[in-house]
Amino acid sequence: MQLVIFDIDGTLTNTYKVDEDCFKRAFALEFGIFGVHTNWSEYSYTTDSGITQEIFKEKLKRLPSDEELIRIKARFVSLLQEAYINNQDLFSEIPGSANVLAKLQLYPDWCVAIATGGWRESAKLKLQKANLEIEGIPLASANDALSREDIIKTAIIKAENLYQVEKFQKVVFIGDGVWDVKAAYQLSIAFIGIGNNILINIGATKVIQDFTNLDDFMTILQDAEIPRFSMNTILHITKRQQWQQAKNLGTYRADSLDSEGFIHCSKSTQILKVAKRFFDNQKELVLLFIDSEKVQAEIRYEPAEIGELFPHIYGELNIDAVYQVIDFEAGKDGLFELPQEVINLEL
């Protein structure tokens, strides 16, 4: 038996924009938290649970309580319901998705599951309003785990239990985001992108626009391959406060841009050397993951004192080139360790 797992927003439903708008409004109305940035790829976990934790830590300097999580979910769902009443077109299906969900369940060799970075309550509402029938289909969500990888793993386990399969011969994940390609790559499962051709540039082998041609989709599904996550990443260490200011301004300037004419960056194999040499005993540091192909300023690889070539950005850094930001500080022993996110770049 084989398993196909679908994401929801942007994959099964055209609800990405209304989801984003209602999510931001929920924080403003429920907790008075404004200025939530929506470059979701910057968050450590691109899921509702992970993003909520990070927003609370950034704005309130603490994690949300269980009661607060209940409140934000309820407010979010209420806003989605209100949005549907005002404009039902905001909850349309990706063309052919209802049909493909129904037909796939008739194929003897394929099982179906859903894995979403959204919360279960809002996910089910969006699917319902888009007229997608998921009765009998296992669903994993941000209620189950923080990371997309763990949510997908949960979907696989739920599918194994429901369909009474010890281990699926093949698992294919279908999604629309950069984080979806990365999750499939890290889990070593096949991937099909939908609607976003940029996914080809970072490792997806196939991207489709929608599900209108069922026969073509089934052929692509059968031939789906594990992606090679190949974003050309360079890294930069900075202060958390400096990065927060950059997000408000829309562009990032390091002090070295004024003093030396460029922003110092590193490759994944160089970052520990840089951290040990220049950031010893410093606190409140973050590590920027930069897609070099999106950087608008010129990048030059130039020799440093230690004899290696380092990437230097000759100009301000446009923040949309930053696809992930993580905390980066030395441990209690004063030593820096290579984060798993950096290790993954080298795989």
pLDDT tens-place values along the chain, 347 residues long:
999 999 999 999 999 999 999 999 999 999 999 988 887 877 888 999 999 999 999 899 999 999 999 999 999 999 999 999 999 999 999 999 999 999 999 999 999 999 999 999 999 999 999 999 999 999 999 999 999 999 999 999 999 999 999 999 999 999 999 889 989 988 999 999 998 777 886 788 899 999 999 999 999 999 999 997 766 789 999 999 999 999 989 899 999 999 999 999 998 889 999 998 899 888 899 999 998 878 999 999 888 776 688 999 999 999 988 988 999 988 877 789 888 778 766 65
Q: How far apart are CA 263 and CA 253, in angstroms?
A: 8
H or E segment at 183? helix 178-187
pLDDT at 334: 77
- Give the predicted TM-score (pTM) of the model: 0.72
Q: What is the pLDDT of residue 307?
A: 67
Cα–Cα distance, 304 to 310 (Å, whole number): 7
Q: How far apart are CA 223 and CA 217, in angstroms?
A: 10
- Residue 8 is predicted with a pLDDT of 98
Query: Which ranges of 32-147 would DSSP assign to H, the alpha helix?
Result: 48-60, 66-86, 97-104, 120-129
Helix/strand/coil for 46: coil
* CB neighbour list of residue 298: distance below 8 Å, 6 or more residues apart: 313, 314, 315
> Residue with structure tokens 């984080």?
179
Identify the burial level of 79 via C-beta atoms within 10 angstroms of its C-beta, where 0-12 means exposed, 13-18 middle and 19 or more buried: buried
282 contact partners, CB below 8 Å, separation of at least 6: 239, 329
Count each helix (H run) and each strand (E run) in the chain, helices first: 13, 14
Task: Confirm if 330 and 239 have CB atoms less than 8 A apart.
Answer: no
* Domains of the chain in sequence order: 1-230 (3.40.50.1000), 233-345 (3.20.170.20)
Round to whole Å and give the CA distance between 164 and 61: 44
pLDDT at residue 28, rounded to an integer:
97
Query: What pLDDT does 178 receive?
Result: 84
pLDDT of residue 257: 94
The first and second tokens of residue 235, run together, are: 């890294």
Dihedral (C-alpha) 54, 60, 62, 63: value to the nearest 10 degrees?
A: -50
Query: In sequence order, which residues have a C-beta less than 8 Å from that of residue 83 and are 6 or more positions away?
Result: 18, 21, 22, 90, 91
Q: From residue 91, how far is each of 26, 33, 48 by CA, in Å?
A: 18, 26, 19
Read off the tokens for 12. 């099964």
| Confidence at residue 292, expressed as pLDDT on a 0 to 100 scale | 87
Contacts of 285 (CB under 8 A, 6+ apart): 237, 238, 239, 240, 279, 327, 328, 329
What pLDDT does residue 242 have?
94
